[in-house]
C-alpha cells in the first residue's frame, strides 16, 4: 500500500490578513515556521521515503522542516503551486469583493471565476498529475509527503479520487500545516484515509487563497 500525504504550508502574514496569495511568493511568518516544525514532528512518524514540494517558498520552507528531521532531500515541482488568481493576487478578500463582485460571488459559490483566474479544472489536473507522479516515485509500500497549498491540495486530491466538483464543495478548507492522507493499492485504488489532520493551531486559518 502506497501512502500519499498532501500537506498544506504553514501560516504567512498574507494568510493572517486574508490577502490573496495565489502564486505570489510569500514567506512563512514566525507562526508558520513553528507550525512546520510541529507538523514535521508528527509526519516523521510515517517514516517518509520521499518529500516533494511546490517551489514557492512558503511550501518549500514547510517541507524543509521535515527534511531536517528525516535527512531526505526535497524534490521541487512547479505543478504543485497554488491556483493562479490573476488580478486578485495581493488584494484582501474585502478588496476582491469590492472590485470584482461577480467573480467573487462565483468563487463563493464554488463556481469557475473567469477572467485571469485559473480554472478549477486546470488546477486539479496539474496538481493531480504531480501527486500521482510523486506517489509513483516511492516503493509500493512507501510513503511520500507532498508540501503544497490549500486550494491546490483540495482540487488535486479530488481529481486523484475522481470526485465531482459538488463533492469537493463538501470539504472544509484545509488549515495551515494540516494534511490529507491518501492510500493506494491494486485492489481498491485510491482511498481517502484522513483529512485536515495536523498540529494544534492557536488561531483558525482563513480560506486557502
| Set 41, 82, 166, 184: catalytic member | 82
The CATH number given to whatever domain includes residue 172 is 3.40.50.1240
Say how many domains are in the chain: 1
Give the pLDDT confidence score for residue 100 in this predicted structure. Answer: 96
Give the pLDDT confidence score for residue 32 in this predicted structure. Answer: 97
- 184 is known to lie in a ligand binding site: no
Does a structural domain hold residue 204? no
Q: Is 82 a catalytic residue?
A: yes
Q: How confident is the model at residue 204 (pLDDT cuts 50, 70, 90)?
A: very low
- 137-191 tens-digit pLDDT: 999 999 999 999 999 999 999 999 999 999 999 999 999 999 999 999 999 999 9
- 14 is known to lie in a ligand binding site: yes
pLDDT surpassing 50 at residue 203:
no
Q: Is 178 a catalytic residue?
A: no
Does a structural domain hold residue 82? yes
Does a structural domain hold residue 92? yes
Q: Label residues 30-56 b or e (16+ Cβ within 10 Å = b).
A: ebbbbbbbbbbeebeebebbbbbbbeb
- 12 is known to lie in a ligand binding site: yes
Residues 32, 39: contact at Cβ < 8 Å? no
Give the pLDDT confidence score for residue 184 in this predicted structure. Answer: 97
Q: Which residues constitute the domain of residue 89?
A: 2-197
Does a structural domain hold residue 111? yes
Mean pLDDT, residues 35-45: 98
Does a structural domain hold residue 32? yes
Amino acid at each position: 500500500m502506497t501512502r500519499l500525504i498532501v500537506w498544506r504550508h504553514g501560516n504567512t502574514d498574507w494568510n493572517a490578513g486574508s490577502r490573496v496569495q495565489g502564486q505570489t511568493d510569500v514567506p512563512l511568518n514566525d507562526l508558520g515556521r513553528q507550525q512546520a516544525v510541529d507538523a514535521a514532528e508528527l509526519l516523521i512518524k510515517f517514516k517518509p521515503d520521499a518529500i516533494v514540494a511546490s517551489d514557492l517558498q512558503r511550501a518549500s520552507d514547510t517541507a524543509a522542516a521535515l527534511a531536517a528531521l528525516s535527512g531526505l532531500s526535497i524534490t521541487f515541482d512547479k505543478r504543485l503551486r497554488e491556483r493562479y488568481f490573476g488580478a486578485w493576487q495581493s488584494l484582501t478578500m474585502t478588496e476582491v469583493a469590492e472590485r470584482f463582485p461577480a467573480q467573487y460571488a462565483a468563487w463563493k459559490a464554488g463556481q469557475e471565476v473567469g477572467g485571469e483566474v485559473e480554472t478549477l479544472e486546470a488546477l486539479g489536473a496539474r496538481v493531480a498529475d504531480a501527486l500521482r507522479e510523486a506517489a509513483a516515485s516511492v516503493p509500493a509500500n512507501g510513503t511520500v509527503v507532498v508540501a503544497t497549498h490549500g486550494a491546490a491540495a483540495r482540487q488535486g486530491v479530488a481529481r486523484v479520487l475522481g470526485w465531482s466538483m459538488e463533492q469537493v464543495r463538501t470539504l472544509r478548507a484545509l488549515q495551515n500545516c494540516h494534511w490529507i492522507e491518501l492510500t493506494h493499492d491494486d485492489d481498491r485504488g485510491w482511498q481517502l484515509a484522513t483529512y485536515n489532520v495536523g498540529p494544534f493551531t492557536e488561531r483558525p486559518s482563513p480560506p486557502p487563497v
